[in-house]
A and B are shown apart, each in its own frame.
Chain A
Amino acid sequence: MKDARILAWVLADPSRAAQLRPHQWTAMLTIAQAERLLGTLAHRLAGLEVPEAAARVLHRARRSAETDRRQALWEAEMARRALAPLGLPVLLLKGTAVLAAGMDAGAGRLVGDLDILVPRDRMEAAEAALLSAGWEWVKADAYDDAYYRNHMHELPPLIHRARDRMIDVHHTILPLTARARPDASALIADAVDLGNGMKVLCPEDMVIHAVLHLLADGDLAGGLRNLWDIDRMLREFAEAEGFWARLLARSRHHKVTRYVSRALRLSHHIFETPVDRYLAWQGRRGDLFYAGRLLARNGWGQETATLLRLAFYVRSHWIRMPPLMLARHLFTKWRKGHQPIR
């Protein structure tokens, strides 16, 4: 098998693992590790009969994910304590939100940084509170720092000096220079209280954020994991009456319907997600390129389809900033010796 389809195929229906031969197991486990989906796969395969060597690998991944979960939730608690004096509840985003809310997408999921959302007019206060609670600037140069502050949707990353964990403080969910401009105040106004001083986005916004993170902000590297989040969220949220109608309305409100629509089609194509057919056909075509990019990894864990990846890398900049600004940015980065892709 030349791409990551074998992993998607088993994630969608774990009983299929019974048909795998040893070299297919090896490829699937390696790809899952490279796509940061091994813990997820371990959870999906829990309780099923698997070869002993595979069970060992999966056991290790479950342990890893459990440690990660504990650290991620502790980090969220640390941020809560740091921001509580400001009267700011911690609005969790991405992986930590999924874990804190106990969602299906969190089972076995690895979490890197802590991402939180803060109203734009409280950013300075939040920054000061975090700095005094032990977070520090990651060493960055003046250009990067100015770039973050002028054009991005988040502060330059902060890292905690004792715990060595990173926090990203966002004030919205896409760069200010991106084509799409979601309604940040609506995200905050409709957030769901978890009852422990923390909040998460409402279900529709959580899906929309995952979609934008995958399709409107970046080059889709590691995107299979993000698409898996979307699959799990859609399946879980769709159990509530009227979810698809609310998702459509919310997508229109944020003016991001075509991204949501494409994500639904990709999720259906790769993970067999049942999706709302009306909402799924709102966008433009070209899905095969996206699917190809998401699955561009071979059984040795190597990235494949170099040209396609390069195209998505170029696209990631194109959608993130206007042409003149992009030219200036790339020139600055090139002078610093930045290499986009191996």
Chain B
Amino acid sequence: MMRAFSVQVGPFGFRVGSAWPQPIRALERLYADYPKPADGIPDFTVRLEPVRAVRRFIRPSVAIRGDFMLPDAVPTSLAHGLLAAEMAMNLQVAMGERRFLLLHAASVERDGKVLLMTGESGSGKSTLSALLGEKGWRFMGDEFALIDPETGLAFPFPRPVSLKNAAVAEMLRHVAPERLGPEMVGTPKGDIRHLKPPVEAIRRMSEPGKPALLLFPRYGLPRDIRPVPASEAFVRLTQASTNYTMLGERGFEALTNLVQGIPGRAIDYPDTATALALVDQLWADPA
């Protein structure tokens, strides 16, 4: 490996090796506020390699490899190398983690209590969690919520938030431009910029919280609130978990305890202001 970078995010240490210097430089800037892995031993290794040796120099094409790999992962262009690194780090956690139940969900915390928001890509959970993180909540993560089966607590995984398309302009109204990473245009997920979480969120990234409310946001629809029964929440979260089946009985218990312990609400919203008002309202009184 030509260049290497390592970082600790929440409970996981990562080591990223790259055949090119550019993705490593981008990672160093984006993760400047994060600590290094404890004991100098990372949990997961990620490699950004040329698809074939010649593709290091000619039309560089970044293959995503590491401890865990998808056989049909599509290579990215070198200009999107940072995105490749981010995807590869997520993939390691998604495929390799066995202690925590992973939910594809954004999470924020207030007074020790955690708001979980889950939904498809485009539901707005990343943007909402990032905005709440600027408005008095502690940002815990926009990608994975980590549920500890033994205690039921949610642990943070506060990666930089990946903002897509219109969300970038929206966020620039609330944060200083230095908080945003480089612009990556025309990726498979659209135009992407990363937002560095608040320093406080990183400093407290090993502090868990108790789940209190589960929201299923949907963007682009008239304002609406609908209760989601535990049974439906359960099924939707099994689909939103990357390691539910691999955890076996522990996963089943963790998930049933979670959905039975907290209220679930589906919210539709036409714009961010409405969503933030809905969050405030449901947080104060879920009924």
Measured CB to CB, the residues of A under 8 A from B are 22-23, 25-26, 29-30, 33-34, 51-54, 56-57, 59-60, 63-64, 67, 70, 300-302, 342
Contact = CB atoms under 8 A, between A and B. Distances in A.
B17 interface: yes
Given A22-B39, A57-B43, 18 more contacts: A22-B41, A30-B67, A33-B45, A33-B67, A34-B67, A53-B13, A53-B38, A53-B43, A56-B11, A56-B43, A59-B98, A60-B97, A63-B98, A63-B99, A64-B98, A64-B246, A300-B17, A342-B52
Contacts of A63: 98-99
Nearest to B6: A26
A67 B248 CA distance: 7
A64 B13 CA distance: 19
B39 A52 contact: yes
B15 interface: yes
A43 to B, nearest CB: 15
Closest 7 CB pairs of A and B: A22-B40, A63-B98, A53-B41, A53-B39, A51-B39, A60-B98, A33-B67
B75 interface: no
Interface of B: 1, 11, 13, 15, 17, 37-43, 45, 47, 49, 52, 65-67, 96-99, 246-248
B98 A26 contact: no
A59 to B, nearest CB: 7
A32 B11 CA distance: 21
Contacts of A57: 41, 43
Given A26-B15, A63-B98, A301 B45 contact: yes
A44 B99 CA distance: 20
Contacts of B40: 22-23, 26, 53
Contacts of A300: 1, 17, 45, 47
Contacts of A33: 45, 67
Given A60-B97, A60-B98, A67-B246, A54 B41 contact: yes
Contacts, number: 65
A300 B246 CA distance: 26
B248 A301 contact: no
A70 B15 CA distance: 31
B29 to A, nearest CB: 23
A163 to B, nearest CB: 11
Contact of B66 (A23, A60, A301): A301
A314 B43 CA distance: 36
Contacts of B13: 53
B98 A25 contact: no
A53 B43 CA distance: 7
B97 A51 contact: no
Nearest to A70: B248
Given A30-B45, A301-B47, A52 B38 contact: yes
A56 B43 CA distance: 8
A34 B17 CA distance: 15
A7 to B, nearest CB: 14
Interface centre among B43, B45, B49 (most CB of A within 10 A): B45
A154 to B, nearest CB: 22
Nearest to B47: A300
A63 B52 CA distance: 35
Contact of B41 (A29, A59, A70, A301): A29
Given A60-B96, A60-B98, A300-B47, A51 B248 contact: no
Contacts of B65: 301
Contacts of A60: 43, 96-99
Interface centre among B40, B47, B99 (most CB of A within 10 A): B40
A244 B96 CA distance: 41
Contacts of B99: 56, 59-60, 63
Contact of A54 (B15, B39, B49, B98): B39
A33 B69 CA distance: 11
B160 to A, nearest CB: 22
Contacts of B52: 342
B47 A51 contact: no
A54 B13 CA distance: 11
A52 B43 CA distance: 11
A33 B66 CA distance: 10
A323 B15 CA distance: 45
A172 to B, nearest CB: 29
Given A34-B67, A63-B98, A301-B66, A53 B42 contact: yes
